[in-house]
Amino acid sequence: MTITIRLVSEEDHSRLEDYDLTEEQLRFTATPIDSIEKAKIEPNRYPMVILHNEEIAGFFTLHTVEGPKPYTGNPQAVLLRSYSIRNSFQGQGIAQKSMQLLPAFVREHFPQLNEILLAVNYQNRAAQHIYQKVGFEDTGKRVMGRRGEQYVYSLLL
């Protein structure tokens, strides 16, 4: 299985229009198209695709500068937002593999950064398990998201 991460390209836009997420997933994350639209008007948002053998299997946004501010005082942090794996690709280990690739990807493309942050809904136990398995740690900080309380996780680079 070949998993890669890269910045969203123009060609990806049409491929992301039929990005399949379950109702359960939509409770916790934004759609790729919504995230890309936000990135067009907000600076420092970088939409990414997760590829499985060149097919789009997942999506997330890296948000620097303003993104991590509500979660940390670290100006060298990046916030991982809108992370999802398409419904049709779930159960194949893609989430764990992409999260394992993320630190090296951030170090290569954002060498000034030293921390990855994310906020995960307290009800989203599957996501919490994956994040912890790849080295994210609960900071103990709690924030209110659109679907309730969220735990703030950190991974130092």
Over the stretch 56-112, which tens digit does the pLDDT of each residue have? 999 999 999 999 999 999 999 999 999 999 989 999 999 999 999 999 999 999 999
Nearest by Cα to 7 from 53, 45, 33: 45
Q: What is the pTM of this model?
A: 0.93
The model's pLDDT over 14-37, given as tens digits with 9 standing for 90+, comes to 889 889 887 777 777 788 999 999
Q: Cβ of 76: how many Cβ atoms within 10 Å?
A: 13
pLDDT of residue 124: 87
CATH topology of domain 3-156: Aminopeptidase (3.40.630)
Are the C-beta atoms of residues 122 and 150 closer than 8 Å to each other? Answer: yes
CA distances from 2 to 18, 57, 89, 105 (A): 22, 11, 13, 15
Spell out a b/e string for 21-43, using b for 16 or more CB atoms within 10 Å of the CB, else e.
beeebeebbbbbeebbebbeeee
CA distances from 68 to 42, 104, 153 (A): 14, 19, 11
CA dist 148 and 143 (Å) reads 8
| Domain residue ranges in the chain | 3-156
